[in-house]
Amino acid sequence: MGCWLGIDAGTSGLKALVLEESGEILAEGYAELDVQFPGPGCAEQRPEDWWAACKKAVSLALQGRNIGKEIQAVGFSGQMQGTVFLDGDNRPVRDCLIWMDQRAVQEVEEIAWKLRAAGLDGMAVTANQCLNTFWAPKILWMRNNEPEHYERIRKIIFPKDYLAFRMTGELAMEVSDASLSYLLDVPRRKWSDEMFRALDIPKELVPNRLLESCEVVGTLKKSVAGELGLLEGIPVIAGGGDQTANGVGTGIIEERVMGASIGTSAVVFGCSRKPFYDRKQRAIQSLCHSVPDLWSYLGLSLTAGASLKWVRDVFFAGKKQVWKSAGKNVYDEITRIAAQARPGCRGLMFLPWFNGDSAPNNDPYARACFFGMSLDHGMAELTRSVLEGVVYSLRETVEVCREDGREIGTIRVSGGGAKSSLWRQIQADILKASVVTMKITEGPAAGAAILAAVGSGYFKDVKEGCRALLKTDTVTEPIREHEKIYEEYFQIYRGMYGCLREPFAKRAGLINGR
């Protein structure tokens, strides 16, 4: 029997999944993670917490099961854009500035100035506009604001690469994660010497080995194998960033198929035969796919999925423990309440920008808010409006893709947004597309396991692995009456950012000034 361990190092938690050759999940484990917010727009995590969570999740997955020695390879998926700064002993210099960290605003302007001075078109090289969540501005922020830490840095890697290092002792990274560093030549899938020179960032800070997602980082160390209950020496595969790994895990490896994932963030994801260039600067991110001959693109809503967690912790703080004690799923209870409200919530809308907005507004100062609240709105409307607001934010990216001439009739959904029938219907209605779920709902972890199967030689390529292991589950069609309601409200939603951009900036100035 062939089986593979996929590890998804997410933001809210780390998932371990064992997938076998029939496409069945043999075991799963999960460990929750916390995020620290040390200041406005700041978001950090401790790399050591990821490793502790990794060991816990794998142990939970294998607990009471005699399958640890059957696992043939380990693959990774992980949150993207996080900067793990390592010293000369390969120990973290400080906590990681994760993907939702927005502090490097001035450094984006510094990068634009440096590129003009060098006469270099950054988008032509990287296929991206520079976002303050990318590596390059964060590295410059470190140099400008924490020089004592910067001087100790010897290598920089991504979150999942840190876990691979802890398993193998080998430092490496791969092209999908590296795509959002603003230092990679994305069309050529290699580091750009001219970007390093223009931005005055030493190339020695990145590992020498830059891999494709299915390539081997190293083999599992004896000490780690014993601790995790796995075989020593099995291959550890590079894997992909969570979005490209999710693309593999949901079968988004053809141009006609698009995906939407709602986790801590929310993402619209597609793939193409060549890099996607968004010259209109709407923060559509372009990257190398985890499939070697494909590229991908995504639009990110930074805290969309986190909005529902906020609802849980704020609106239902007193009830969530009661529900848990009664054996009820907290999110099922919340969506049950939301289902009592009508589509459109009688004009109540929610903007899901708790820590800024990425696509399409690219504004670190944007913040969440409710719009259109009346005295006759209750908890059902408040809760449902959050679910709808998250999907409105996805619709904005879908519209960018449609404007680019891409036909979108089917969207494969994953993450928390795929588990709720109500949320799936809201997605179908607002996105105007058939919404499809897969038998395996944990796309990133499944993608990591498929990449492990390919990288260890069980399948000849990713496409063969996806065909063998992935199966569709449910199909949700749009309801025409709902489509019309949502279309009218979406146009209002779409226009609100232009009215709020200046107040958002003034608010940020007041807070930062104090």
Task: Give the burial class of 148: count Cβ atoms within 10 A of its Cβ; 0-12 exposed, 13-18 middle, 19 or more buried.
Answer: exposed
pLDDT for the residue numbered 514:
54
Compute how many other C-beta atoms are within 10 angstroms of the C-beta atom of residue 398. Answer: 22
pTM (predicted TM-score) = 0.88
Percent with pLDDT over 90 in the chain: 87
Two tokens, residue 326 = 């009664």
Q: Note the pLDDT of residue 129.
A: 93
Whose tokens are 């922020």? That residue is 141
Closest CA to 175 of 189, 195, 157: 189
Per-residue pLDDT, averaged over 481-510, amounts to: 96
pLDDT score recorded for residue 464: 96
Q: Which residue has the higher pLDDT, 256 or 231?
A: 231
What percentage of the chain carries pLDDT values higher than 70? 99
Domains and CATH numbers, the chain: 3-241 (3.30.420.40), 302-408+484-513 (3.30.420.40)
Q: Where are the alpha helices (DSSP H) in 296-345?
A: 304-314, 320-325, 330-338
Residue 1 pLDDT more than 90? Answer: no
**In this structure, what token pair is assigned to residue 492?**
């209002």
CB 159 within 8 A of CB 13: no
Residue 235 has pLDDT above 90, yes or no: yes
Mean pLDDT, rounded, for 138-155? 98
First vs last C-alpha separation in the chain:
61
For residue 46, the model assigns a pLDDT of: 98
Q: What is the pLDDT of residues 238-271, one digit of tens each?
A: 999 999 999 999 999 988 889 998 988 899 999 9
pLDDT over 90 at 394, yes or no: yes
**How confident is the model over 156-198, as pLDDT tens digits?**
999 999 999 999 999 999 999 999 999 999 999 999 999 999 9
**Residues identified as active-site:** 242
- Beta strands 25-32 and 13-20 are antiparallel
Between CA 496 and CA 396 the distance in angstroms is 12
In the structure, what pLDDT confidence band is assigned to residue 371 with cuts at 50, 70 and 90?
very high
Of the candidates 1, 2, 9, the one whose C-alpha atom is nearest the C-alpha of residue 448 is 9
C-alpha span between 246 and 368 (Å, rounded): 27
* pLDDT value of residue 332: 95
Q: What is the pLDDT of residue 221?
A: 97
Which residues, in sequence order, are CB contacts of 57 under 8 Å at separation 6+?
7, 13, 14, 15, 16, 29, 30, 31
Q: What's the average model confidence in pLDDT over 369-376?
A: 97
Give per-residue pLDDT as tens, 269-310: 999 999 989 888 888 999 999 999 999 999 989 888 889 999
Q: Residue 321, class by beta-carbon neighbours within 10 Å (0-12 exposed, 13-18 middle, 19+ buried)?
A: exposed
pLDDT at 71: 97
What average pLDDT does the structure give for the chain? 95
Averaged pLDDT, 72-99: 97
Report residue 441: phi and psi, to 5°: -90, -15
Amino acid at 212: E
pLDDT at 6: 98
